[in-house]
Structure 1
Amino acid sequence: MEKLVIHGGRPLHGHVRVSSAKNAVLPIIVATLLPSTPASIIDAPNLDDVSTICSVLESLGVKVTKEDNVLTFDASMLDKTEASYELMSKMRASFLIMGPLLAKMGHAKIALPGGCMIGSRPIDLHLKAFEAMGAEINVGNGFVEGYAPHGLKGTTIYLDFPSVGATENILMAAATAEGRTIIENAAEEPEIVDLVTFLNSMGANIKGAGTNIIRVEGVKELQGISHTVIPDRIEAGTFMIGAAMVGGDVVIDNVLTEHLKPLLAKLNEAGVKVIKDIDSVRVISDGHIRSTDIKTLPYPGFPTDLQAQFMALMTIGNGISKITETVFENRFMHVGELQRMGASIQVEGRCAIVQGVPFLNGAFVRATDLRAGAALTIAGLAAHGETEVGELHHIDRGYDHLVEKLQGLGADIVRVDRD
């Protein structure tokens, strides 16, 4: 077991480059199950979640190769429709293989998914959609099994909630289904748009990505292509919040600022100077923060994946802020850890009231989930004294070379073995 050891109080300066988006690359990797010829992803991020989803595909018979910075997937020898429980239980995104397997093989047996324990995140939206497309679904003994021996049929599907995962799973199932599929109340995230760009480049016929109604005309076959994934807006946002909290002058490269409008607005409210460029953003801060309220919402609202990091920022605000979480019901597990560092936070249901304090103090804390780990790391960078962050496997799931990138900005942070 490893931990981060951070000596806080050092402003950040310099340039940092954002990696490809975790939340985009995972469904795109899964979509490589569909084409009849190999597909490649350029500059895939070095993440535990990427390794896990590659192992899932390999367990199904997909040939996965890595050369330099290119991952290639050849699904021409796909011969299995059941993934191992051990692999599937590691992360939630693995459930996305169900749509492509039903579409291509007519069968899928999948262990109920794992991942960060930040809420129930039920899969019933996925299953209702597959049933509407003609699949027979059975749930029991920790598995979901689907049958579509005669193929999937296009239909109109209304999502009760604009679920990103359900939208992605349906898109992959519908790409080669017979007829037209219409997804109403679809998720609008940039990661959805990137998946559709990938599918359409392979020959799919999908319109409306980025809106709440997506139309899919099923095609007979897809052909593999090479694709470069969009930048990770959550990683970019984490560095922006970190620079604001610690103070300094940081340029974050490989950023699409149009994907981060709510964060930019809130940082401006908090008194942080943010300068946008074509594919970068510069954050200048003296570490003096105005308390600011946020409310998480599906895209294009404030992202739930930046809530923990923004709460860390608000712990040193000069007033009272209100953080409202509407997406996941159990996404305040980082509160107790921030309190160990001297933060004044009171949770009332889905709201957290944060009374800013002059400074945080270093402490031993543990990452309770992926984004909580990032929040505690940037809190440690701003705190007085030494902070140790444990449970790093959460951070490794979603941040590519985080320590090295922060060191490049002048942070005093190292990764060491636990005592």
Structure 2
Amino acid sequence: MQIHSNPSKSIKNLKYFMSTFIINGGRKLTGSVKISGAKNAATPILAATLLTRQVCTIKRVPRIKDVEKMLAILASLGASVKWTGPDTVRVDTSKTSTKSLNTGLVKSMRSSILLLGPMLALFKQVSTTEPGGDIIGRRPIDTHLDAFAQLGVTTSLRGERFILRGEKLKSAMVTLKEFSVTASENAIMAAVLLSGITTIKMAANEPHVQDLISFLNKAGAKISWLDSHTIKIKGVKKLHGTTHTVIPDQIEIGTLAVAAGLTKGKIRMKPVVPEHLESIVLKLKQIGFKINLGKDYMVVDGSGPLKAFKFQSLPYPGLPTDLQAPFTVLATACKGESLIHDPMYEGRLGHVSQLVKMGAQATICDPHRVIVNGPKRLNGREFPSLDIRAGATMVLAGLAARGTTTIHQAEIVERGYENFEGRLRKLGAKIKKVDD
């Protein structure tokens, strides 16, 4: 997809093409890097602008493909969307009206599901297909539909399209089936304009959920936390336009920290929110990294000896599942036997076989666990990007490997990382992107 060089240019003229990363490894990464806004915060906040029916200005928005697709969907619904700066987007949703989501765009991006809550709240009906995105195991939308049902929504299937009807939407006590981030966000957005009190139990409290709530409260919502996983929503009649700055991306921070360890480098990252990084910083220190964490910056020094570790992804404040793959390649540089456990998804270990082909000593125990023995020097190979995080992980592997590593479908990685190769190159990496 072509990202417009002119910030004020319309978002509707999206172009798609294939590209490839070519990496010559063995270079130490050093220097400073600016951290982008969090993808997982930007997409729900952009979806939530629908609820205001006014103009919202969102800052620190990452210029990545998933964001561009979300903006394209908003435009297809009648919103006026314009980049007004390098990372600032103006969204006017005063003229949105359609009740049907664009099938092609929905099938290309998992986070398109975040539009269901706002559209139900506004139009009381929405027609959509099941969202697409990365293939990382079964990610059904049952938890979303169950949460909507508790709010009074009925769902029917017409061919491959889901028809959700919300004429009987009402405030309620909602208990989610699992700690689902996007289901929590959808339930919040569906309930924010309902009269009365809605309580959501088993709600995810990841930083991006907190950021969505912060945006909605700025727009006039009345949302509060009763405890770490229970949300209280006092319905309001309407929201208003506002300005909001997206939080820094903790996944990008963790990914770059791994790059420092794999290349024995030292990277300064800014901005950061220290409280969002507690589990990540603790794990990095246990592995052997030296960390200097300031009020809004973090310096990661991976030049020392690194030791084996256990990584288990858990709901926040635990380690995020999106860092499972990067930490798997990090384990190849650590002395001893590391255990990587991702209980959330059963199909998110495809990168392991790619690492083995590069020389890693890794064994998949079951669909959720892998054991890695290190340190093992990796050798450059040629691979496709399997998903956003697996593709980024193979770029990291290429940075550490001998010789040349070629990663096809680089556009998949670019769905989640802004100007990935450019910023790695600024840190000293020898990497280039070639359009196929």
Do they fold alike, i.e. is TM over 0.5? yes
Partner of 1:282: 299
**Residues 397/171 of structure 1: CA separation in 2 closer, same or farther (3 Å cut):** same
Residues 226-255 of structure 1 show CA distances to partners (whole Å, capped at 9, x for unaligned) of 111000000011011111111122111111
Partner of 2:195: 178
Shift of 1:80: 0.2
Q: Distance in 1 between matches of 2:227 and 2:327?
A: 25
Partner of 2:399: 381
Are 1:340 and 2:365 an aligned pair?
no
Residues 15-40 of structure 1 show CA distances to partners (whole Å, capped at 9, x for unaligned) of 00100000000000000110132111
Q: Distance in 2 between matches of 1:288 and 1:385?
A: 23
Residues 65-84 of structure 1 show CA distances to partners (whole Å, capped at 9, x for unaligned) of 22223211111111101011
What is the aligned counterpart of 1:128 among 136, 139, 146? 146
In the TM superposition, 1:241-252 aligns within 5 A as 241-252=258-269
Partner of 2:313: 296
Shift of 1:191: 0.3
Are 1:254 and 2:271 an aligned pair?
yes
Q: Distance in 2 between matches of 1:131 and 1:153?
A: 10
Q: Match of 1:276, as an amino acid? A: L
SS at match of 2:277: helix
What is the aligned counterpart of 1:113 among 128, 131, 139? 131
Shift of 1:386: 1.1
Instruction: Give the RMSD, CA atoms, in angstroms.
Output: 1.3
Partner of 1:403: 421
- Equivalent pair of 2:73/2:101 in contact (CA under 8 Å): yes
Q: Distance in 1 between matches of 2:274 and 2:398?
A: 26
Partner of 1:317: 334
Shift of 1:357: 3.5
What is the aligned counterpart of 1:263 among 280, 283, 289? 280
Q: Distance in 2 between matches of 1:286 and 1:232?
A: 24
What is the aligned counterpart of 1:103 among 104, 109, 121? 121
Partner of 2:432: 414
Structure 2: gaps (5+ residues)? 1-17
Q: Distance in 2 between matches of 1:129 and 1:378?
A: 38
Structure 1: gaps (5+ residues)? none
- Equivalent pair of 2:359/2:376 in contact (CA under 8 Å): no
In the TM superposition, 1:353-392 aligns within 5 A as 353-392=371-410
Q: Distance in 2 between matches of 1:184 and 1:270?
A: 35
Question: Normalising by structure 2, what TM-score?
Answer: 0.93
Partner of 1:52: 69
SS at match of 1:207: strand
Partner of 1:12: 29
SS at match of 1:306: helix
Q: Match of 1:304, as an amino acid? A: T
Shift of 1:209: 7.9
SS at match of 1:97: helix
Q: Match of 1:342, as an amino acid? A: G
- Equivalent pair of 1:337/1:366 in contact (CA under 8 Å): no
- Equivalent pair of 1:189/1:210 in contact (CA under 8 Å): no
Q: Match of 1:39, as an amino acid? A: C
Q: Match of 2:430, as an amino acid? A: D
Partner of 2:3: none
**Residues 105/87 of structure 1: CA separation in 2 closer, same or farther (3 Å cut):** same
Aligned length: 417
What is the aligned counterpart of 1:74 among 76, 86, 92? 92
Q: Distance in 2 between matches of 1:159 and 1:148?
A: 18
Residues 345-390 of structure 1 show CA distances to partners (whole Å, capped at 9, x for unaligned) of 1101121011114311111122111001111111111111111111
Partner of 1:137: 155
Q: Distance in 2 between matches of 1:209 and 1:372?
A: 36
Q: Distance in 2 between matches of 1:36 and 1:223?
A: 7
Q: Match of 1:118, as an amino acid? A: I
Shift of 1:287: 5.9
Q: Distance in 2 between matches of 1:335 and 1:142?
A: 33
What is the aligned counterpart of 1:327 among 344, 348, 351? 344
What is the identity percentage for the equivalent residue pairs of Structure 1 and Structure 2? Answer: 39
Residues 290-323 of structure 1 show CA distances to partners (whole Å, capped at 9, x for unaligned) of 1111111111111110000000000122111111
Shift of 1:98: 0.9
After alignment, is 205-214 or 252-261 more displaced? 205-214
Q: Distance in 2 between matches of 1:358 and 1:166?
A: 40
- Equivalent pair of 1:245/1:289 in contact (CA under 8 Å): no
- Equivalent pair of 2:134/2:387 in contact (CA under 8 Å): yes
- Equivalent pair of 2:288/2:304 in contact (CA under 8 Å): no
Question: Normalising by structure 1, what TM-score?
Answer: 0.97
SS at match of 1:400: coil
Q: Match of 1:8, as an amino acid? A: G
- Equivalent pair of 2:55/2:92 in contact (CA under 8 Å): yes
Q: Match of 1:372, as an amino acid? A: A
